Amino acid sequence: MRRLSRRKALTLVRELDAFPKVSESHVETSASGGTVSLIAFGAMALLAVLEFFVYRDTWMKYEYEVDKDYSSKLRINIDITAAMKCQHVGADILDLAETMITSNGLQYEPVIFDLTPQQRMWQRTLLLIQNRLREEHALQEVLYKSLLKGGPTALPPREYASIEPLNACRVHGHVYVNKVAGNLHVTVGKPIHHPQGHAHIAAFVSHDTYNFSHRIDHLSFGEEIPGIINPLDGTEKITNNHNQMFQYFITVVPTRLNTYKISADTHQYSVTERERVINHAAGSHGVSGIFIKYDTSSLMVTVSEQHMPLWQFLVRLCGIIGGIFSTTGMLHGLVGLFFDVICCRLKLGVYRREEVQLHNEMNNLNNHQTPLLAEAVPQE
């Protein structure tokens, strides 16, 4: 009974076989078919290897949502060098709520404004990367993927002590401000706070010492991440006018970064620049100095690193193999049909041999044909 049921099951499975087997005696091979098969196998192998590299690669996915975190503080990382002595320069931040953030978190360090050859090479490289980032945004994704591999973007220290006078002031450090629009001032005189607002004590500074040629070695918002290059890093402005005002208008976008190497909450920003000469007689009013006006965006960007799942890779691989196999088979059949039609009409190749063979057979048949019987002659 079991044998009978097993035979029925095997018979049912054979009837459901979607891949019928053809006997080797009924299969005809050809040189053209073998050539097409080699080409197809080579294309399969090449595309399979390329698809494997695509599977190993990752890409960055950008998602946007409303930033609901309005109570936290915004960190500003500053490293600016002005071509004036530290006793003549003051830095502070005034936000939209008229709240002055003193420079308690900032340090004033006397330095030399001119760069060494090594530092100048670093700055040129940084500016070259900045130009490439403006032209091609895909380079930013490469920086996101290789965060921990990237070196620090800070200006390298001097390799040797210099005897030149310390003619500049480096303002560096970080401060925490409210997440509202604000203005970072680097201008003449130390800042003071009073009930009517804020001011800078500049009465004792000679006007001839005004020189706001500056270099922004680093300016970022949020958590500092090694390897990330910000739009103003490496910026240098040189002026010979004592009444020069430099303005930077920045839009800060909260960014949540999730990669396979790091997860951090940082900020991106875009910037526009403007500079003008203060001339009250010509109607150009203002104060000489460096003014960085920033505003936060209401949208938050989530940048996450994505990877192709294994099942999708297998589906694409099967599609490549099956598609090439079917396509090459169809092309081989069409090319064979095309040549058959041409050879049949022009009597070339095998069709020529068949015609000659048929003609020879007809001649043989005519030569061996039995003569007809002569008609009987009537007897008299």
Q: Determine the average pLDDT of the residues in 140-153.
A: 61
pLDDT one-digit tens code per residue, 199-219: 777 667 777 778 889 999 999
Residues 181 and 44 in one domain: no
Q: Are residues 141 and 41 in the same domain?
A: no
76-94 confidence digits (pLDDT tens): 999 999 988 888 888 888 8
Cα angle at 31 between 29 and 36, to 5 degrees? 95
The values of phi and psi at residue 155, to 5°, are: -65, 125
* Pair (90, 214) in one structural domain: yes
Same domain for 102 and 149, yes or no, is: yes
Classify residue 224 by burial, with Cβ atoms within 10 Å: 0-12, 13-18, 19+.
middle
| pLDDT score recorded for residue 148 | 47
Shared domain for 172 and 225, answered yes or no, is: yes
> How many domains does the chain contain in total?
2
The answer to the question of residue 5 being in a domain is no
Residue that terminates a domain, selected from 297, 328, 361: 297
Domain shared by 251 and 322, yes or no: no
Q: pLDDT: is 186 or 344 the higher one?
A: 186
pLDDT in tens, 322-364: 888 888 878 877 777 776 666 665 555 555 555 556 556 666 6
How far apart, in whole angstroms, are the C-alpha atoms of residue 161 and residue 247?
33
Model pLDDT, residue 380: 44
Give me 81's structure tokens: 């060098």
Alpha-carbon distance 177 to 100, whole Å?
9
Whether residues 129 and 260 share a domain: the answer is yes
Final residue of a domain: which of 246, 276, 297? Answer: 297
pTM of the model: 0.69
Percentage of the chain with pLDDT > 70? 75
Co-location of 275 and 239 in the same domain:
yes
Residues 208 and 321 in one domain: no
> What is the predicted pLDDT for the residue at 80?
92
User: Residue 258: which of 140, 152, 145 has the closest Cα?
Assistant: 145
| Residue 42 predicted with pLDDT over 70 | yes
Other beta carbons less than 10 A from residue 131's beta carbon: 9
Query: Is 175:101 a contact under the CB 8 Å cutoff?
Result: yes
Report the C-alpha dihedral over residues 301, 305, 306, 307, rounded to 10 degrees.
Answer: 180
Q: How confident is the model at residue 197 (pLDDT cuts 50, 70, 90)?
A: low
As a whole number, mean pLDDT of residues 215-243 equals: 86
Q: Are residues 46 and 123 in the same domain?
A: no
Question: Residues 220, 226, 231, 232: is their CA dihedral positive or negative?
Answer: positive
**Is residue 315 domain-shared with residue 217, that is, in the same domain?**
no
Same domain, residue pair 50 and 135: no
Rounded to 5°, the CA angle 343-323-15 comes to 90
Write out the residue range of the structural domain in which residue 231 sits: 68-297
pLDDT at 224: 79
Would you say residue 10 lies in a domain? no
As a whole number of angstroms, the distance between CA 79 and CA 20 comes to 75
The answer on pLDDT for 294 being more than 90 is: yes
